[in-house]
């Protein structure tokens, strides 16, 4: 069994990139398999890139696309590990082989730097669901790993209202959600509406009516932004600039990945004191147009792959605004976060 990567034969393990060699060690039996594959000649495996090679051997050996790293106790996609700096990946692997107990400061810094959430921290999601007595709801029972990460980030984001979320907000969100991620977005939307309108003193009936009216008015506006540019590969920052500029210059709007993401963002950005269709619609459209102008003259400063390997996140930051664009593995580029400064 001979291995070809980009039409070049792999004759020794050391000819592979540093991160690939480390990943072969992370996967039990991975390094031995690779050596046997290199030595054999009766079967040939061909891969376009080392990333494809990594993904294929992981699925073949473990039957899963997320790799457990214990300790410190986390699941992470091999693509994410492969995208890490080689020193970070090597140190994380060495710790998993030689250490026990809580991670030392250096490992915690690696996790934070690479936006990795370990299993211990993810238990806060279960604690929240148990506290609110909604843990048995099917949308949480079948939550994806990506959705659990999304939930955790809501619980821990700066100025999060998650701990004070009301039963009305939970009921509102559950009745309109088909996934955990949508539930999180709608809870954040409900809280933003209450805070933005300063309607916390209103009666519960009036408060719920107001939020529902805002939801009904803004949903069609967001729905009109869901078209997105399609790309075939992860983008460097300069390539991203070209794609965004061409999309906007052609008269398109770079919008949101789904309606709940858009509602969550708009509720934080536009005044909601006047619940009238024309007023809110115009304000929402103006804000979406402002996002286009800012993205058109801005440039991403960082790019990172999500823990599950599902999407690239591009961080924009300048004196006028902060934003994050998502590029998922279907090639759809959308606005994940936006905030004027």
Tokens of 117: 């959430």
Tokens of 108: 């915690």
HEC assignment per residue over the chain: CEEEECCEECCCHHHCCHHHHHHHHHCCCHHHHHHHHHHCCCCEEEECCHHHHHHHHHHHHHCCCCEEECCCCEEECHHHHHHCCHHHHHHHHHHHHHCCCCCCHHHHHHHHHCCCCCHHHHHHHHHHHHHCCCCCCHHHHCCCHHHHHHHHHHHHCCCCCHHHCCHHHHHHHHCCCCCHHHHHHHHHHHHHHHHHHCCCCCCHHHHHHHHHHHHHHHHHHHHCCCCCCECCCCCCHHHHHHHHHHHHHCCCCCCECCHHHHHHHHHHHCCCCCCCHHHHHHHHHHHHHHHHHHHHHCCEEEEEECCCCCEEEEEEECCCEEEEEEEECCCEEEEEEEEEC
pLDDT tens-digit map of 21-35: 998 888 878 888 888
List the chain domain ranges: 2-113, 119-340
CB within 8 A of 323, min separation 6: which ones? Answer: 291, 294, 295, 298, 315, 316, 317, 335, 337, 338, 339
Q: How do beta strands 67-69 and 300-305 pair?
A: unpaired
Task: Enter the pTM of the model.
Answer: 0.89
Q: Which of 170, 319, 189 is nearest to 258 (CA)?
A: 189
Distance CA 5, CA 13 (A): 12
- pLDDT at site 63: 60
Dmax over CA atoms of the chain, in Å, equals 76
Which residue ranges in the chain fall short of pLDDT 70? 1, 61-64, 100, 198-204
The backbone torsions φ and ψ at residue 203, rounded to the nearest 5 degrees and listed phi first, read: -65, 155
pLDDT tens-digit map of 97-150: 887 677 899 999 999 999 999 999 999 999 999 999 999 999 999 999 999 999
């Amino acid at each position: 069994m001979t291995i070809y990567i980009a039409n070049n034969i792999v004759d020794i393990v050391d000819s592979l990139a540093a991160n690939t060699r480390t990943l072969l060690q992370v996967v039990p039996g991975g390094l031995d398999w690779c050596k046997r594959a290199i030595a054999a000649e009766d079967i040939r495996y061909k891969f376009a890139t080392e990333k494809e090679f990594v993904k294929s051997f992981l699925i073949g050996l473990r039957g899963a696309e997320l790799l457990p790293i214990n300790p410190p106790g986390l699941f992470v996609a091999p693509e994410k590990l492969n995208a890490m700096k080689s020193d970070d990946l090597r140190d994380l692997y060495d710790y998993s082989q030689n250490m026990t107990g809580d991670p030392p400061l250096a490992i915690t810094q690696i996790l934070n730097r690479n936006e990795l959430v370990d299993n211990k921290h993810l238990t806060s999601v279960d604690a929240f669901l148990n506290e609110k007595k909604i843990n048995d709801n099917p949308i949480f029972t079948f939550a994806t790993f990506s959705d659990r990460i999304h939930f955790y980030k809501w619980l821990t984001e700066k100025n999060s209202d998650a701990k004070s979320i009301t039963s009305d907000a939970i009921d509102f969100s559950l009745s309109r959600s088909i996934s955990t991620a949508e539930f999180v977005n709608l809870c954040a939307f409900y809280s933003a509406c209450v805070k933005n309108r300063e309607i916390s003193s209103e009666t519960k009936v009036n408060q719920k009516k107001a939020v529902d009216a805002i939801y009904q008015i803004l949903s069609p506006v967001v729905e009109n932004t869901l078209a997105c540019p399609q790309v075939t590969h992860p983008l460097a920052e300069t390539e991203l600039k070209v794609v965004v500029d061409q999309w906007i210059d052609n008269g398109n709007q770079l919008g949101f990945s789904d309606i709940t993401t858009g509602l969550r963002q708009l509720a934080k950005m536009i005044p909601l004191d006047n619940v009238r269709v024309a007023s809110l619609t115009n304000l929402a459209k103006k804000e979406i147009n402002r996002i286009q102008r800012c993205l058109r003259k801005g440039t991403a400063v960082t790019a990172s792959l999500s823990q599950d390997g599902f999407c690239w996140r591009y961080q924009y930051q300048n004196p006028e605004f902060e934003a994050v664009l998502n590029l998922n593995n279907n090639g759809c580029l959308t606005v994940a976060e936006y905030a004027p400064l």
